[in-house]
Amino acid sequence: MQEGHDHGPAEPCPPACPGWGEGALQLFSLQKRYGEMLAACRAAARIESVIVAPAAPGVRLPEYLMEEELVRLNLVAGRDAPEVLLDEWGIRATLTFRGRRFDCAFPWPGVLAGQLTAPPRARPRFAVIEGGKKD
């Protein structure tokens, strides 16, 4: 089992896993499971942030960030970005840097980790409680 996860490293990491929010993207990135990175981001209530390697092919960031080894970017749609677009290629979003908007792009191989907010768990509003005598 991976630290913080309740499953083996090759098994799926569902949103119910205790390590999902902080570790799913990193786990999938290390194992190059990009389809599962996409699925995790789509399942999340919010993508709080991602950690990106600017030197990875296809990454688009402002020029001054391209010299950094790693960059942490806030991606909450509606708060940090007007919208976050996810597909098989990666992530695209318009973000603000030094007061200016910039169209960013991060292919899945360039996304090394991130912070996701798990979707709310569906709970039934009413439940039947068995009681009384059984015939």
- Asked if residue 79 is part of any domain, the answer here is yes
How many domains, the chain?
A: 1
pTM equals: 0.76
Task: For the chain, 135 residues long, give each residue's pLDDT as a single digit of tens.
Answer: 455 666 676 776 666 666 666 777 887 888 898 998 999 899 888 899 999 999 999 999 999 999 999 999 998 877 778 888 999 999 999 999 999 999 999 999 999 999 988 877 766 666 666 766 666
Show the beta-strand stretches assigned E in the chain. 46-52, 71-74, 84-86, 90-97, 100-107, 111-117
- Cβ neighbors of 79 (< 8 A, separation 6 or more) are none
- The residue range of the domain holding 76 is 20-117
Q: For the domain that residue 57 is a member of, what is the CATH number?
A: 2.30.30.220
pLDDT at 68: 95
Provide the 3-class DSSP secondary structure of residue 35: helix
Strands 111-117 and 90-97, how do they pair? unpaired
